[in-house]
Amino acid sequence: MKYTDEFHDPKLARRLLEEIRATVTRPWALMEVCGGQTHSIIRHGIDQLLPEEVELIHGPGCPVCVTPLEVIDKALEIAARPDVIFCSFGDMLRVPGSGRDLFRVRGEGGDVRVVYSPLDALRLARSHPDRQVVFFAVGFETTAPANAMAVHQARRLGLGNFSMLVSHVRVPPAVEAIMTAPSCRVQGFLAAGHVCSVMGTAEYPALADRHRVPIVVTGFEPLDILEGIRRAVHQLERGEHTVENAYPRAVREEGNPAALRMIEEVFEVADRSWRGIGRIPASGWRLSDAYRAYDAEHRFDVTGIRTEEPAVCRAGEVLQGLIKPTECSAFGTACTPRTPLGATMVSNEGACAAYYLYRRMNGPRPQGDGVPGGGGVPQEARVPQGSRVPQEERNPVG
């Protein structure tokens, strides 16, 4: 595809890998913040191609995965009401709540619909004035502008039957929480390019200085990620800790001013709970006072729902980078995309789903330092022939 094929060039991939090998002199641990980056890393075998000194730790960069259990249970309660059309992106439908998921609610008669934009839900509210239409607004900063615009439009149109169940989270406070945790091993970050395309990079220099870690903004294609790793390793080896933008084709320091204005008008910063991690101060958004009438939690009086995470699922440790998915005893046995114990096995950006989909069922690195097959980073590196997950076992939503 034009503008992406260039970032799959095997010769450039090999050159970047060789430069990383020539630079690194000691072990370093880097965390990719975004779940989309995690999937790209596992799909292309990037973590297995790096020198052993460079470890990639998967961070809490999957918005579906970090949506807390109590918010899922609130969604289930609202979606089951007969007067409600509940709208969501597809990968939320199989995220397990305390006893069921949105697919089960739909099977039991709830009007649960998959939409591709919050504006789709807005159109449903206009065409069904006798029904309450609720949009499940989940995501990092990337999806916040469109969600804010939908609420802004609902108020402008006077739609009293539209509301949002909001579970928006913010990346910089999560980075702060990771770096201040006693168990933290992270020495550098690959920041999510799509988040920074909206928000810019203004919040990151203070984090880099305070914790003395390099933060490199990067994209999602193989060469994007390898370039981000190369820059981070160079900084670590030189004892530097600055913010670098390795994704200039999409990210500007100031971000997207129009999107930022819309977010500032509709949302306000709030404390948020992250599934498997806990409450992080100022790590999310909620609807501001001017738009509070469109808050589904208050409209349907589900603010009192409180739940506890199941102990059997170790997704919280995966999200914090404390373990790899294969270190969980339930991975690939009790927990699969068909029978998920946690959101990290369901989401299209979940680390457990990536390991399962690409048959990364154990952890050892392959021998050899070359690019597989002499052809750079292939589309599904390190996946043996014939071992791909059958279509019916793949995550059907997303």
pLDDT tens per residue across span 117-142: 999 999 999 999 999 999 999 999 99
Count of CB atoms situated within 10 Å of the CB of 364: 6
In a domain, residue 357? The reply is no
**Given a cut of 60, is residue 33 above it in pLDDT?**
yes
User: Average of pLDDT values for 343-372?
Assistant: 73
Q: Compute the average pLDDT of residues 245-267.
A: 96
Lowest mean pLDDT segment, chosen from 41-45, 124-128, 162-166, 263-267: 41-45
Contact of 72 with 64, CB cutoff 8 Å: no
Is the CA virtual torsion 154, 155, 161, 162 positive or negative?
positive
More confident residue, 179 or 304: 179
Residue 39 contacts residue 324 (beta carbons within 8 Å): no
> Does residue 378 belong to any structural domain of this protein?
no
Rounded alpha-carbon distances, angstroms, from residue 369 to 12, 56, 376 = 15, 17, 12
**Residue with token string 């470890």:** 55
Res 266 pLDDT > 80: yes
Alpha-carbon distances of 352 from 43, 109, 161, 322, 345, rounded to whole Å:
12, 30, 37, 13, 5
Confidence of residue 303 (pLDDT cuts 50, 70, 90): confident
47 secondary structure, DSSP code: H
Q: How high does pLDDT run on average in the chain?
A: 88
pLDDT more than 90, % of the chain: 71
Q: Which residues contact 213 (CB under 8 A, 6 or more apart)?
A: 179, 186, 187, 188, 189, 207, 241
**Do 35 and 61 meet the contact criterion of CB atoms below 8 Å apart?**
yes
Do 302 and 81 form a contact (C-beta atoms < 8 A)? no
The reported pTM is 0.86
Q: Any idea which residue has 């007969």 for tokens? A: 82
pLDDT surpassing 80 at residue 5 = no
Residue 353 located in a structural domain = no
State pLDDT tens for residues 230-242: 999 999 999 999 9
For position 2, what pLDDT does the model report? 58
What integer pLDDT is reported at residue 369 of this predicted model?
Answer: 44
Residue 112 resides in a domain? yes
Q: Is residue 327 part of a domain?
A: no
User: What is the distance of C-alpha 349 from the center of its chain?
Assistant: 6
pLDDT of residue 364: 43
- Give the chain's domain count: 1
Distance (Å, whole) CA 353 – CA 41: 13
Give the separation between CA 52 and CA 24, rounded to whole angstroms.
10
Residue 166 falls inside a structural domain: yes
Give the pLDDT score at 360.
Answer: 87
Q: What percent of the chain lies above the pLDDT cut of 70? A: 89
Mean pLDDT across 349-377? 64
pLDDT at 166 over 80: yes
Q: Average of pLDDT values for 251-257? A: 97
- Residue-level pLDDT at 339: 86
Once rounded to an integer, what is the mean pLDDT over residues 134-157?
Answer: 96
φ and ψ at 189, to 5 degrees?
-125, 145
Distance CA(313)–CA(276), nearest Å, equals 9
The CATH number of the domain where 275 resides is what?
A: 3.40.50.11740
pLDDT score, position 270: 96
- The region of weakest confidence among 21-25, 118-122, 181-185, 187-191 is 181-185
Determine the pLDDT at residue 6: 74
Paired with 139 in beta bridges are 168
> Which residue has better confidence, 183 or 367?
183
Residue 38 lies in a domain: yes
CA-CA distance, 330 to 332, in Å (whole number)? 6
The pLDDT of residue 363 is 52
Confidence of residue 9 (pLDDT cuts 50, 70, 90): confident
Question: How high is the pLDDT of residue 394?
Answer: 33
For the cut 80, the answer to whether the pLDDT of residue 99 exceeds it is yes
Residue 330 included in any domain: no
User: At which residue do the structure tokens 């997950």 appear?
Assistant: 389
- DSSP state letter for 32: E
35-71 tens-digit pLDDT: 999 999 999 999 999 999 999 999 988 888 899 889 9
Domain extent at residue 285: 1-313
DSSP letters spanning 357-372: HTT--S-PPPS-SSPG
Query: What interhelical angle do 222-238 and 35-44 show, nearest 10?
Result: 100
* Top-confidence residue, 323 or 305: 323
pLDDT band at 156 (very low <50, low <70, confident <90, very high): very high
* Whether the predicted pLDDT of 386 surpasses 50: no
Average pLDDT over residues 343-363: 86
